[in-house]
């Protein structure tokens, strides 16, 4: 397993996050030494200490902190549920390799550690580090801790059971599972809105282009969102397409040089037209169709509010379905086109 950093980056003006990928050099136990830090720099800046006074072990998850966190805390319970969801949805075998979370008490302590240990790294809310020695997450407690931990812990789960994961798929799956909810798969409305706007301006999705990206520094916000859209489509569209993804992930358990996933999508996607179209009609920004049904069952305070709520939901569903349908229809056409041309 190669060494890597996967990190969360906040992009000004955007509600969703970006990640940045950086190569690291050398690891010994829980201490990371990178090529970015020279001996002279290490002498100038005292190393900040990693948190570790308190620990919580929950299945594969190990949280080390300098403040107490109850084992039954909702964040830990959510991460335990997340692990089950990732393994179940993607049909992955569980791994006993721990994913260690170094959870700093506040942002300043986390920043001090990053600055003293890796002074050349840009500041990010969270980092995931993975190699053959350790799978680790570095972040601090804060308003976005649940989202950050869900994203980075998903990386850890994937890399604990798979020998390799293509970058776009790694990030697309982490984006898919980062949103808390009763069930995975909630539609990221802002991502859909931005991608739909891009479509109207001439942009077209291209999974083969995504597969060519090997460094997160080459990815921009739309690449993360397109990766999420592909994962969402494959998991919620035609069952044959979902099985193609599941089989591909199973192969990643034993191979370090997998073929592109797009090589396997031609036949399965060309056979999925009718069911895929039905899926487009059911998708909406509230999440899965079942969640919308549950939402409509919530009794309002009075009949007038019920009528108004129904009207607002109907208007939003019509608007969002059209936007998402256009986006996913373009995804379908972008994959179908090369094989249609070959058939001619």
Q: Which of 260-274, 275-289, 309-323 has the lowest mean pLDDT?
A: 275-289
> How confident is the model over 151-158, as a mean pLDDT?
96
> Over pLDDT 90: what percentage of the chain?
40
Tell me: do 198 and 138 sit in the same domain: no
Tell me: do 19 and 149 sit in the same domain: yes
Tell me: do 81 and 143 sit in the same domain: yes
Q: Name which residue leads in pLDDT, 211 or 44.
A: 211
Which element (helix H / strand E) includes 63? strand 61-65
Tell me: do 207 and 331 sit in the same domain: yes
Compute the CA torsion angle 193, 211, 17, 90 (nearest 10 deg).
90
Q: Is the predicted pLDDT of residue 20 greater than 50, yes or no?
A: no
| In a domain? residue 177 | no
| In a domain? residue 207 | yes
Band of the pLDDT at 239, cuts 50, 70, 90?
A: confident
Q: Name which residue leads in pLDDT, 241 or 335.
A: 241
Tens of pLDDT, residues 74-89: 999 999 999 999 999 9
Tell me: do 230 and 137 sit in the same domain: no
Tell me: do 313 and 227 sit in the same domain: yes
The sign of the torsion formed by the CA atoms of 90, 176, 285, 234 equals negative
Predicted pLDDT at 205: 75
How many CA atoms lie less than 13 Å away from 202 in the CB half-sphere? 0
Predicted model pTM: 0.72
Q: Is the predicted pLDDT of residue 4 greater than 90, yes or no?
A: no
- Residue 70 is part of a domain; what is its CATH number? 3.40.30
> How confident is the model over 57-70, as a mean pLDDT?
94
Alpha helices in the chain (DSSP H): 39-44, 74-90, 107-117, 145-161, 167-177, 189-200, 207-211, 221-236, 239-251, 262-270, 273-282, 289-296, 303-343
> How confident is the model over 166-191, as a mean pLDDT?
89
Q: Name which residue leads in pLDDT, 308 or 16.
A: 308
Q: Which of 199-208, 278-287, 292-301 has the lowest mean pLDDT?
A: 292-301
Predicted pLDDT at 271: 44
Tell me: do 123 and 20 sit in the same domain: yes
| In a domain? residue 232 | yes
Structure tokens at 106: 């506040």
96-105, 265-274, 327-336: range with highest mean pLDDT: 96-105
> Over pLDDT 70: what percentage of the chain?
63
Predicted pLDDT at 15: 26
Tell me: do 202 and 141 sit in the same domain: no
Q: Is the predicted pLDDT of residue 286 greater than 50, yes or no?
A: no
Residue identified by tokens 């282009």 is 209
Tell me: do 112 and 222 sit in the same domain: no
| In a domain? residue 179 | no
Tell me: do 84 and 139 sit in the same domain: yes
Predicted pLDDT at 50: 93
* Residue where one domain finishes, among candidates 161, 176, 211: 161
Tell me: do 41 and 147 sit in the same domain: yes
Structure tokens at 134: 């350790």
Predicted pLDDT at 311: 54
Provide the domain limits for residue 213: 189-343
| In a domain? residue 95 | yes
Predicted pLDDT at 25: 28
Q: Which among 104, 90, 218 has a CA at the least distance from the CA of 157?
A: 90
Q: Is the predicted pLDDT of residue 262 greater than 50, yes or no?
A: yes
Structure tokens at 69: 């966190």
| In a domain? residue 183 | no
In degrees and rounded to multiples of 5, residue 177 shows phi and psi of -95, -5
> How confident is the model over 132-153, as a mean pLDDT?
93
Q: Is the predicted pLDDT of residue 110 greater than 70, yes or no?
A: yes
| In a domain? residue 299 | yes
Q: Is the predicted pLDDT of residue 334 greater than 50, yes or no?
A: yes
Q: Name which residue leads in pLDDT, 231 or 37.
A: 231
Report how many domains make up the chain.
Answer: 2
| In a domain? residue 214 | yes
Tell me: do 197 and 312 sit in the same domain: yes
Predicted pLDDT at 84: 95
Long-range contacts of 237-242, Cβ-Cβ distance < 8 Å, separation of 24 or more: 237/272, 237/275, 237/276, 237/279, 237/328, 238/268, 238/269, 238/271, 238/272, 238/275, 238/276, 238/279, 239/275, 240/268, 240/271, 240/272, 241/265, 241/268, 241/269, 241/272, 241/276
Q: Which among 269, 204, 280 has a CA at the least distance from the CA of 242?
A: 269
């Amino acid at each position: 397993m190669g060494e890597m950093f996967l990190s969360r980056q906040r992009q000004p003006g955007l509600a969703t996050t970006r990640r940045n990928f950086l190569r690291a050099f050398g690891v010994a136990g829980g201490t990371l030494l990178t090529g970015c830090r020279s001996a002279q720099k290490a002498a100038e800046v005292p190393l900040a200490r990693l948190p570790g006074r308190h620990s919580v072990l929950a299945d594969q998850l190990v949280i080390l902190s300098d403040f107490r966190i109850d084992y039954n805390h909702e964040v830990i319970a959510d991460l335990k549920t997340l692990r089950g969801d990732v393994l179940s949805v993607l049909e992955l075998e569980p791994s006993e390799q721990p994913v260690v979370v170094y959870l700093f008490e506040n942002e300043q302590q986390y920043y001090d550690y990053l600055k003293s240990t890796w002074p050349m790294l840009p500041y990010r809310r969270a980092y995931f580090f993975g190699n053959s020695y350790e799978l680790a997450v570095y972040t601090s407690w804060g308003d976005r801790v649940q989202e950050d931990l869900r994203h980075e812990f998903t990386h850890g789960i994937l890399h604990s059971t798979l020998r390799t994961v293509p970058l776009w798929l790694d990030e697309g799956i982490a984006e898919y599972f980062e949103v808390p909810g009763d069930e995975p798969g909630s539609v990221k409305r802002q991502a859909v809105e931005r991608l739909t706007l891009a479509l109207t301006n001439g942009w077209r999705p291209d999974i083969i282009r995504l597969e060519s990206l090997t460094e997160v520094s080459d990815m921009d916000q739309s690449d993360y969102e397109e990766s999420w859209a592909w994962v969402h489509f494959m998991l919620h569209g035609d069952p044959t397409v979902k099985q193609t993804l599941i089989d591909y992930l199973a192969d990643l358990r034993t191979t370090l040089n997998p073929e592109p996933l797009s090589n396997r999508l031609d036949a399965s996607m060309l056979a999925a037209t009718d069911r895929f179209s039905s899926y487009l009609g059911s998708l909406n920004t509230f999440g899965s169709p079942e969640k919308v049904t549950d939402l409509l069952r919530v009794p309002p305070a009075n009949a007038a509010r019920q009528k108004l709520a129904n009207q607002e939901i109907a208007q939003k569903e019509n608007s969002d379905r059209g936007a998402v349908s256009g986006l996913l229809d373009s995804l379908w056409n972008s994959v179908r086109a090369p094989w249609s041309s070959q058939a001619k």
